[in-house]
Amino acid sequence: MTDGLVLSIDGMGGDNAPDIVVEGVNIAAQRSPGVRFLLHGDAVRLNALLERYAAAKAASVVEHADKAIGMEIKAAQAMRQGKGSSLWNAVEAVKDGRANAIVSAGNTGAFMAISMFRLRTMEGVHRPALTTRWPNAKGGYTVLLDVGANVEANAEQLVEFAIMGEAFARAVNGTARPSVALLNVGAEEQKGHEEIRAAAQLIRDTGVDLNFNGFVEGDDIAKGTVDVVVTDGFTGNIALKTGEGTARLVGQFLREALTGGLMAKLGALIAYPALKKLSKRMDPGTFNGALFLGLNGLVVKSHGSANGAGFAAAIGVAEKMARSSYREEIAHNLVRLASAHAETAKVGDAG
Amino acid sequence: MTDGLVLSIDGMGGDNAPDIVVEGVNIAAQRSPGVRFLLHGDAVRLNALLERYAAAKAASVVEHADKAIGMEIKAAQAMRQGKGSSLWNAVEAVKDGRANAIVSAGNTGAFMAISMFRLRTMEGVHRPALTTRWPNAKGGYTVLLDVGANVEANAEQLVEFAIMGEAFARAVNGTARPSVALLNVGAEEQKGHEEIRAAAQLIRDTGVDLNFNGFVEGDDIAKGTVDVVVTDGFTGNIALKTGEGTARLVGQFLREALTGGLMAKLGALIAYPALKKLSKRMDPGTFNGALFLGLNGLVVKSHGSANGAGFAAAIGVAEKMARSSYREEIAHNLVRLASAHAETAKVGDAG
């Protein structure tokens, strides 16, 4: 009894692997009975864990890998020594067409490098983008990309990110026509880096099929002003980490405030269920799953410190992506971008 | 009875001016009895307010200005039409040597443009930097610059920002030897934009007198890993606004959690004093005062939505800066940077 969807799982990636991986697979298997899992990693350890999780056991095939890539290994080293690791094999299963998507909570740099090397970028995509979701004030999630795959991005690459991010938001957040904007230091047309202004112009000129909203600023990410915020990997990485750092700081201040005296402690005790729910709402685990978009294969990165529920959330993202028409939607818009470019080049030649 | 320190105040700048300005001056005048204030703006309104604040009245001289620059006016327009406004006159008083520093809660773009135009940059400084303080997990404040004065910064300008930020941290936070780092996407030497790597090299090569710690990432700002974080105005502006947006979002989630049921409300009521203190700790008003560093004159920007206490905090920053040896410390390091540059140029000529 399968619905044909196969997910390739790095059983050994993450701070608490393989335990949370198998636990996550179990939650996902209960939630989506038709899905099958290829579990890559130490067969002895994985099989022992599967004995404790019936749903995971029924839905999984273990594929033994002799080694695992550590969280602290550099990407270049992982490329040289990674062959035969659980991460490498998990990627390979998608390349071979035996699985529809990969999920790993392992080393981000190694995961990106190996995926990029083995799967290559889709036709029409110059560079892939690391894509994340950010809880927002409207109760939904803002899609932000690139958050670290490329240090720089030119105008055309930013437009490619916009196209990929839009299709992702539709597939995963279920928004029919996601609004898209470029991250900038002001909403005015004349502001910001030249590439950003050129990207806005390119979107308007090429007739790319996007609900484009121009520029937004840093605080618009958490506000949820638009569904998709597009930037280069340097700026996106700093925005993401600054936001995470600030959220943790406020959490620390809150804990300090609520343990700072008898009345505060009593109040916190009475409000405990509400505070617990808040803490869950802020936990990256609940909106887990960063995507590495633009490759020939779906590549989902779970947070390294995810628990079982968090890893299951990342699997959920992979599932939604695999069942969506994301790939066709991107291809459709990339063709428009490419033909507009060819048009411009022709005009240039004539001039 | 004065200690010679004179502060030039834009009485009409900010969302709640002139009321909160005069209230802020009153708090500052009570705290620092020796300081005098030049209050620029609508004399009728300012004098009426001063009747309600005895300490402010005793310490202030009102200088009438016919107009005020609105919060929504573009910088270019402010430059054309701003002459004779309260903001323009406040800057002019420092240029004329009648005051030691300017404080305004008004239009940031207009304030930067007019200050830059009238005061010019210090010798050895290519571009000024907008500088802010960020509460951190260590209970102190991380200095972050540039947060928006320049969209781009080359290696030499980043080093100038580092020099200015370090002296600022010493003057305002009281850290004897502040640690300094460049904002980047990873701690490794080979990562990030070329200008950032070049700036790190320049600091090491030129013998600039800094406690330099290499690179930090976005989450290190809130962690307080170093005292001063240096970046270009594009990245800094996005980091600042993303952080502010995230803090507001967490605040909203907290309010929603604590009003979401009877027990939650009861707990919040009992813990109210602690939550009130937390809210104050997170309020930009309590660490108010962004500096526009690198000009011939001290230029302090208060948050546009500051209340009286917040405006008084910005005045406090101006006071500390005016009483510090910030200017001499910067000059000392800028000379080292310049002479190292001259040295390099000579070597280049010889080769």
pLDDT score recorded for residue A125: 92
CATH of the domain at A31: 3.40.718.10
Last-in-domain residue among A77, A93, A119:
A119
3-state secondary structure of A228: strand
pLDDT score recorded for residue B254: 83
pLDDT single digits (tens) B101-128: 999 999 988 999 999 999 999 988 999 9
Residue A302 lies in a domain: no
Any A CB within 8 A of B277 CB: yes
Q: How many CB atoms lie within 10 A of CB B304?
A: 16
Percent above pLDDT 90 for chain B: 63
Q: Is residue B111 located within the same domain as residue B135?
A: no
Q: Is residue A336 located within the same domain as residue A271?
A: yes
Name the CA radius of gyration of chain A, rounded: 21
Q: Is residue A154 located within the same domain as residue A186?
A: yes
Q: Is residue B42 located within the same domain as residue B128?
A: no
Last-in-domain residue among B119, B149, B183:
B119
Any B CB within 8 A of A218 CB: yes
Per-residue pLDDT of chain B (351 residues; tens, 9 = 90+): 457 899 999 999 999 999 999 999 999 999 999 999 999 999 999 999 999 999 999 999 999 999 999 988 888 899 999 999 999 999 999 999 999 999 999 998 899 999 999 999 998 899 999 999 988 999 889 999 999 888 889 999 999 999 999 999 998 888 899 999 999 997 666 677 899 999 999 999 888 889 999 999 999 999 999 999 999 999 999 999 999 888 888 888 888 888 888 888 888 878 878 788 777 777 666 667 789 999 999 999 998 888 999 999 999 999 999 999 888 888 888 888 887 766 665 554 443
Which residues on chain B are in Cβ contact (under 8 Å) with A248?
Answer: 137, 219, 222
Last-in-domain residue among A102, A119, A136:
A119
Q: What is the mean pLDDT of residues A50-59?
A: 97
For A155-187, the DSSP string reads HHHHHHHHHHHHHHHHHHH--SS-EEEEE-S-S
- Cα→Cα distances B16→A322, B44, B51, B91, Å: 53, 17, 18, 20
Task: Determine which of A249, A252, A276 to mutate to test the interface with B (most B C-beta atoms within 10 Å).
Answer: A249
pLDDT score recorded for residue A71: 86
Q: Is residue A182 located within the same domain as residue A105?
A: no
Distance from the Cα of B304 to chain A's closest Cα (Å) equals: 16
Can you say whether residue A37 is alpha, beta or left, with left for phi > 0 and alpha for psi between -120 and 50 degrees?
A: beta
Name the CA radius of gyration of chain B, rounded: 21
Can you say whether residue B132 is alpha, beta or left, with left for phi > 0 and alpha for psi between -120 and 50 degrees?
A: beta
Say yes or no to pLDDT of A351 above 50.
no
Q: What is the mean pLDDT of residues A290-304?
A: 92
Say yes or no to pLDDT of A283 above 80.
no
Q: Is residue B153 located within the same domain as residue B190?
A: yes
Q: Is residue B236 located within the same domain as residue B351?
A: yes
For chain A, give the mean pLDDT: 89
Distance from the Cα of B15 to chain A's closest Cα (Å) equals: 19
Which letter does DSSP use for residue B285 in this model?
A: G
Q: Is residue A20 located within the same domain as residue A51?
A: yes
Say yes or no to pLDDT of A81 above 70.
yes
Q: Is residue A80 located within the same domain as residue A160?
A: no
Q: Is residue B106 located within the same domain as residue B35?
A: yes
Residue A320 lies in a domain: no
Which letter does DSSP use for residue A2 in this model?
A: -
Q: What is the mean pLDDT of residues A261-268?
A: 81
Cβ pair B77, B113 in contact under 8 A: no
Distance from the Cα of A68 to chain B's closest Cα (Å) equals: 23
Put simply, the answer to whether A191 touches B222 (Cβ < 8 Å) is no
User: In the A/B pair of chains, how many CB contacts fall below 8 A?
Assistant: 205
| Sign for the pseudo-dihedral over CA of B109, B79, B123, B39 | negative
pLDDT score recorded for residue A210: 93
Burial of B346 (0-12, 13-18, 19+ CB in 10 A): exposed
Overall size of chain B counted in residues: 351
Q: Give the residue carrying structure tokens 């291809």.
A: A331
Say yes or no to pLDDT of A264 above 90.
no
Strands A129-135 and A290-293: antiparallel
pLDDT score recorded for residue A338: 81
In angstroms, the CA A143 to CA A224 distance is 9
Which letter does DSSP use for residue A346 in this model?
A: H
pLDDT score recorded for residue B351: 37
In angstroms, the CA A144 to CA A130 distance is 9
Range of the domain at A30: 1-119
Any B CB within 8 A of A257 CB: yes
With CA atoms as reference, the chain B residue closest to A270 would be B267
Residue A316 lies in a domain: no
Which residues on chain A are in Cβ contact (under 8 Å) with B267?
Answer: 266-272, 274-275
What is the torsion angle, in degrees rounded to the nearest 10, for the CA atoms of residue B237, residue B240, residue B241 and residue B243? 150
H or E stretch at A329 = helix A326-350
For B137, phi and psi rounded to 5 degrees?
-65, -15
Tokens of A331: 């291809």
Residue B303 lies in a domain: no
Any A CB within 8 A of B76 CB: no
Tokens of B291: 């500096």
Q: Is residue A72 located within the same domain as residue A204?
A: no
Treating both helix axes as pointing N-terminal to C-terminal, what angle do B43-50 and B19-31 enclose, rounded to 10 degrees? 50
Q: What residues have CB less than 8 Å from B218, skipping those under 6 apart?
A: A237, A238, A239, A240, A241, A242, A243, A244, A245, B183, B239
Q: What is the mean pLDDT of residues A35-44?
A: 97
In angstroms, the CA A295 to CA A159 distance is 16
Cis peptide before A146 (omega within 30 of 0): yes
Residue A307 lies in a domain: no
- pLDDT level of residue A348 (50, 70, 90 thresholds): very low
pLDDT single digits (tens) A224-252: 999 999 999 999 999 999 998 888 888 88
Task: Determine which of A72, A215, A225, A250 to mutate to test the interface with B (most B C-beta atoms within 10 Å).
Answer: A250
Cβ pair A216, A182 in contact under 8 A: yes
Residue B242 lies in a domain: yes
Residue B298 lies in a domain: no
Burial of A55 (0-12, 13-18, 19+ CB in 10 A): middle
Put simply, the answer to whether A254 touches B257 (Cβ < 8 Å) is no
The interface residues of chain B toward chain A in range 17-36, judged by CB-CB distance below 8 A, are: none
Tokens of B279: 């809210």
Tokens of B95: 């240029």
Q: Give the residue carrying structure tokens 């930020």.
A: B165
As for how many domains chain A has, the answer is 2
Cβ pair A309, A31 in contact under 8 A: no
3-state secondary structure of A74: coil
B288 closest CA partner among B306, B270, B276, B269? B306
Q: Is residue B98 located within the same domain as residue B164?
A: no
- Strand spans (E) along A283-325: 290-293, 298-301
pLDDT score recorded for residue B189: 64
In angstroms, the CA B310 to CA B284 distance is 8
Cβ pair A204, A339 in contact under 8 A: no
Amino acid at A116: M
- pLDDT level of residue A350 (50, 70, 90 thresholds): very low
- pLDDT level of residue A7 (50, 70, 90 thresholds): very high
Q: Give the residue carrying structure tokens 């894509």.
A: A131
Cβ pair B314, B105 in contact under 8 A: yes
Predicted TM-score of the model (pTM)? 0.90
Q: How many CB atoms lie within 10 A of CB A76?
A: 12
Question: The sheet that has A290-293: what strands, in order across it?
Answer: A60-64, A36-41, A6-10, A101-104, A298-301, A290-293, A129-135, A141-145, A228-230, A179-183, A211-216
Any B CB within 8 A of A76 CB: no
Percent above pLDDT 90 for chain A: 63
Say yes or no to pLDDT of A269 above 90.
no
Residue A296 lies in a domain: no
Beta bridge partners of B299: B102
Strands B298-301 and B101-104: parallel
Put simply, the answer to whether A267 touches B270 (Cβ < 8 Å) is yes
